[in-house]
Chain A
Amino acid sequence: MSITPEHPAALDRRTVLRRAAAVGVLATPAIGLLGACATSGSDGDNEQVAGGTKSEKNPLGVKEDAPIEVVIFNGGYGEKYATDVHEPLYKKAFPKSEVKHQATQAVSTVLQPRFASGNPPEFVNNSGEKFLDFGALVNDGQLQDLTELWDAPSVDDPSKKVRDTIIPGVVEQGMFSTADGQRKPFVLYYVSTVYGIWYSGKLFKDNGWTAPTNFDQFMALCEQIKAKGITPYGYAGANAAYYQWNVILTQAAKIGGADVLKNIDNLEDGAWKQDAVKQAAEAWAEIGAKYSDKSFEGLKHTDVQLRQNQGKVAFYPSGDWLENEQKKDTPAGFTYQLMPVPSLTASDKLPATAIRAAGGEGYFVSSKSKNPRGGMEYMRQMLSKAGARGFTETVGAATVVPAGSEGFQFPPGVASAQAALKAAGQDVFNMLFDNWYKELDTEARTATNELMFGRIKADAFVERIQKRADAIKKDSSVTKFKR
């Protein structure tokens, strides 16, 4: 998912491409070279291993000595949780099997040729800036239908199905429609992700400020913060504009209800021109004009996050991976705190506590790999109490398995996010269009920078994104999704 923090080390993968495109002329064969290995359409040697015997310990019928290959996106969460927790769990369950581990910061660069040549790895953590397009994968039948996994008995309590051990809505979130129109679960979203606006508990306590719940309070507080010589609000325009469209759309959902986002995801006509979206854009354009800093457009997310750690920025929008990502730069006592996006009007459809939360970090099993059952079993182990607990202990983030986080002492930021999630109750929503239609994500990012840094108004903002959404809707080469 593109909501995952991007890894700053973008250099290596760019270097690779730079070499390919070193001279303009070379760009043509670079694409062609890719094709040379891909369009030949070889089926590779993907003879699937026979199933093993199903048993209580092995409900998915995994062949016990068949190896599996695990590919992990080495980004915000690192790779340690896989090498130290999940892979040993699998090895323990199937001592005769061999687990091959690979970590990468550019999933698509590494895996695209493998899928094209018919030799994909069993288990993939499809995340980061360069994740493989889920739509294209689904369309091509590359993803394993996870129904069997969700219905299998869970590791800790065989009387409970796996699907009943995780947060509701997560299975649903990973469902995609196949080419023949059926909706099937293909993706496991593993990390519980809560979005909001972050501030330093210490800074606020020292100044006697409290987190605002409505926009008037928010603006008033921004004024006070500005008077102190601190930039009240900011996000990084250079590479993280989506952190800000997330805020604008969250605001829109609060004004007009969660259906506003459903319409956007479903590419409904005029979805971006809904009043709620326009109002939200207007409100945030004002924040951008009055309470932000023009130079932030030229900064990367790590720069702005660092400035917040240094006490130069008060509010910063992000997801709850932020605290872990900034661990090294956060001064002692900083105390990350999350506040939900403040409500705009008294007539907002959703309360001030409403929040965007979702399963983040997508994982899938390749249906055309040698040992897809092993891949599913690996997921089952991940979703066990030990697997979830180990992940939480390693990276400090909650998973979609509530039993894994029980009684765990989260760092203050994640704890505040979990508290906000609890306070939101049923008023939790999500959006998926950026995952489904990357072009729309790109357009929304560009338009957001234009809006927030004062080059266009809210009208033009919704107009231009709507135009792109319409174009995508008409484009027959793009697979459409519904929710």
Chain B
Amino acid sequence: MRHGKYPFVIGFLFAPVALYVTFVIWPYAQAFQISMTNWRGLSAPQWVGFDNYRRLLDDGAFWKAVQHHGVLLLALPLITIAIALLFAFLLNVGGKSSGGQRQGVWGSKFYRVVFFFPQVLAVAIIAVLFQMVYRPNESGLINGVLMKFGMEPILFLVKPNLALWSIIAVLVWQAVGFYVVLFSAGMASIPGEIYEAAEMDGASKVTLFFRVTLPLLWDTLQVAWVYLGIAAFDAFAIVAVLSVDGGGPDGATTVLAMEIYRNAFVYSKYGYASAMGVALFFLTLTFAALTLRLSKRESVEY
């Protein structure tokens, strides 16, 4: 039957590989090709070599966007993971233990559902929602309250040094729920005996967290870091809908996808936009490779 095996395998592989090549690999290759042209979207593209990339080097908006990705790359995973870990710990092992079984804080089942809510909403809806929250006058959710108490409204999305952080806050708010669930799953697979043993030795909750939970959750954390890192290279929907003047004020919240969008669909510079897309592709790839490399560490067997 040996000779019948290959046709069988190839037969199965053909459809998915063909689909993958057509809808993933080929567009990638095309993006590389278009990035070498000055295509305006209508007529046949003209080959211009590396001109678009040279132009990228002194495009202020591009570098601003890259810089913002740097900030996002640090802030988004750090803050999200910190908050999600804390919540997951409280929900799963932060309470009393009963019958040798670790329990979450009181009402943890309810909180678990509540935390997941933002994940259910479409990103665009979240952005529109936060337009209301951040609105800079008396009809804003936050400023309405502040102004009732006679305070000056906070211009969340308008102050250049506050705008990006207002965006990051939304991204964190939206992401935390998912990672609480992810970490909860991770924690559930940590055997209760380890906690029990540590507690018998007199470990406090803080010690439990840092000495037991964290090391045994390392693999999950690593995954979370890569996911959030990739999310940090996106942020497009929130920026596009929420920010002032499309990534403003004066580019204070712009991200690469926003600039790609603007160059492609507003300026009709598809070639240049593709060059930015290629740059984004390499940035993301480099990040993923680096993270997986740096966070390589013996996982604990239990």
Which secondary structure characterizes the binding site on chain B? helix
- The total of Cβ contacts below 8 Å across the A-B interface reads 207
Q: How many residues of A contact B (CB 8 A)?
A: 58
CA–CA, A132 to B266, complex, Å? 8
Give chain B interface residues in 225-280, CB to chain A under 8 Å: 230-234, 236-237, 240-241, 244-246, 248-251, 256-257, 260-262, 264-274, 277-278, 280
CB of B18 to closest CB in A, whole Å: 14
A320 in contact (CB, < 8 A): no
Instruction: Indicate whether A298 sits within 8 Å of B267 (C-beta atoms), given known contacts A39-B34, A136-B42, A238-B245.
Output: no
- Nearest to B48 among chain A residues (CB) is A477
Query: How distant is the Cα of A115 from the Cα of B40 in the complex, in angstroms?
Result: 12
Which residues of chain B come closer than 8 Å to A31, judged between CB atoms?
27, 31, 34, 260, 264, 270, 273-274, 277
Q: Would you call A283 an interface residue if the criterion is a C-beta within 8 Å of the partner chain's C-beta atoms?
A: no
Given A15-B124, A294-B158, A453-B158, A299 contacting B42 (CB threshold 8 A): no
The residue that A18 contacts in the complex, of B124, B136, B156, B245, with Cβ under 8 A, is B124
Binds B, one of A22-30, A52-60, A195-203: A22-30
Other-chain residue from A108, A136, A140, A298 in contact with B265 (beta carbon distance below 8 A): A108
Report the minimum CB–CB distance from B119 to chain A (whole Å).
Answer: 14
Q: Mark A24-65, 1 if CB is under 8 A from B, else 0.
A: 110111111111101101000000000000000000000000
Q: At the interface with chain B, which of A151-159, A169-177, A442-450?
A: A442-450
B41 part of interface (Cβ distance < 8 Å): yes
Bound together, the chains give a CA A446 to CA B249 distance in angstroms of 7
**Interface contact A17-B261, CB-CB below 8 Å:** yes
Q: List 23 A-B contacts (CB under 8 A).
A: A14-B237, A17-B265, A18-B240, A24-B280, A24-B283, A27-B257, A27-B277, A27-B281, A31-B34, A32-B274, A33-B23, A35-B274, A39-B45, A116-B42, A133-B268, A136-B41, A237-B249, A295-B136, A297-B155, A450-B250, A453-B158, A455-B249, A477-B269
Residues of A within 8 A of B (CB): 10-11, 14-15, 17-18, 21-25, 27-36, 38-39, 41, 108-109, 112, 115-116, 130, 132-133, 136-137, 139-142, 237-239, 241, 293-295, 297-299, 438-439, 442, 445-446, 449-450, 453, 455, 477
**B residues bordering A, Cβ < 8 Å?**
23-24, 26-31, 33-34, 38-45, 48, 122-124, 128, 134-137, 153, 155-158, 160, 230-234, 236-237, 240-241, 244-246, 248-251, 256-257, 260-262, 264-274, 277-278, 280-281, 283-285
